[in-house]
């Protein structure tokens, strides 16, 4: 695992070095240690997506996250809970994607998501599973403008099943996948868990400027 994180650090430093000449870019490397990544992972379930930092690179931002996915089909950690008495019901989500799947189109498993503005590079650091990508989301739900997904994690997104050119591949430790913006993606066939880093260039600066995960400093 240390080799994976160290390799990621090299890529990260090179990317920052390219940006040094840009106005407002940092003038030194920004480090995230393996100990910090592991500390943040302790807080992942049931909140599975954990952005580590959103770093101002001058003309764009760089988001780095660590994500935990549990066994496929396992009940969500933390249980349900329902709506509290007297609480105001949330408005229904705005719909997005295709209104219906094309005739004969291949359908993805449930739980796909695509991001309007952010590319993601996945680097698996523990466990494994099947990563599914491709097609177009059908009758999806758009992330709310004030949701954590929109503000901190991925920017505006659309979730649901996708239809079309669906591609599946097994991902294990050390495997990397680059997912362009607008491409639906999701996981299936996770026998135990998969943990992975996600590097997200934020060219339109849609994510929360300067965000630092509150658990990041619990480990040095």
Q: Where are the domains of the chain?
A: 2-72+92-205
Residue 18: pLDDT band by 50, 70, 90 thresholds? very low
**Region 66-89 average pLDDT:** 66
Residue-wise pLDDT tens digits, 85-99: 555 666 788 999 999
Identity of the highest mean pLDDT range in 24-33, 64-73, 174-183: 174-183
Q: What token pair was written down for 102? A: 């094309």
CB-count exposure of residue 89 (10 Å: 0-12, 13-18, 19+): exposed
Give me the mean pLDDT over the 175-180 stretch: 98
What is the pTM (predicted TM-score) of this model? 0.82
Task: Please give the share of the chain, as a percent, with pLDDT higher than 90.
Answer: 67
Q: What would the pLDDT profile of 117-173 be if each residue is shown by its tens digit?
A: 999 999 999 999 999 999 999 999 999 998 888 899 899 999 999 999 999 999 999
**Range list of β-strands (E), 5-75:** 49-56, 61-70
Given a cut of 90, is residue 219 above it in pLDDT?
no
Query: Are residues 162 and 107 in contact, defined by beta-carbon separation less than 8 angstroms?
Result: yes
Class of domain 2-72+92-205: mainly beta
């Amino acid at each position: 695992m240390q080799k994976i994180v160290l390799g990621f650090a090299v890529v990260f430093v090179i990317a920052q070095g390219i940006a040094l000449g840009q106005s407002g870019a940092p003038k030194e490397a920004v480090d995230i240690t393996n100990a910090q990544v592991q500390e943040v992972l302790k807080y992942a379930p049931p909140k599975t997506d954990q952005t580590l930092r959103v770093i101002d690179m001058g003309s764009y931002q760089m988001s780095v996250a660590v994500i935990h996915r549990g066994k496929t089909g396992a009940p969500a950690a933390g249980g349900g809970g329902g709506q509290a008495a007297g609480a105001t019901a949330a408005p229904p989500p705005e719909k997005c994607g295709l209104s219906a799947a094309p005739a004969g189109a291949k359908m993805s498993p449930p739980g796909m998501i695509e991001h309007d503005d952010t590319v993601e590079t996945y680097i698996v650091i523990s466990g494994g599973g099947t990563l599914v990508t491709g097609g177009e989301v059908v009758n999806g739900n758009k992330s709310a403008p004030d949701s954590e997904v929109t503000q901190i994690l991925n920017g505006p997104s659309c979730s649901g099943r996708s239809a079309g050119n669906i591609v599946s591949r097994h991902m294990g430790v050390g495997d990397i996948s680059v997912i362009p913006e607008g491409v639906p993606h999701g996981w299936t066939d996770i026998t135990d868990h998969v943990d992975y880093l996600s590097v997200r260039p934020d060219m339109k600066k849609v994510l929360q400027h300067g965000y630092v995960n509150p658990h990041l400093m619990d480990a040095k």
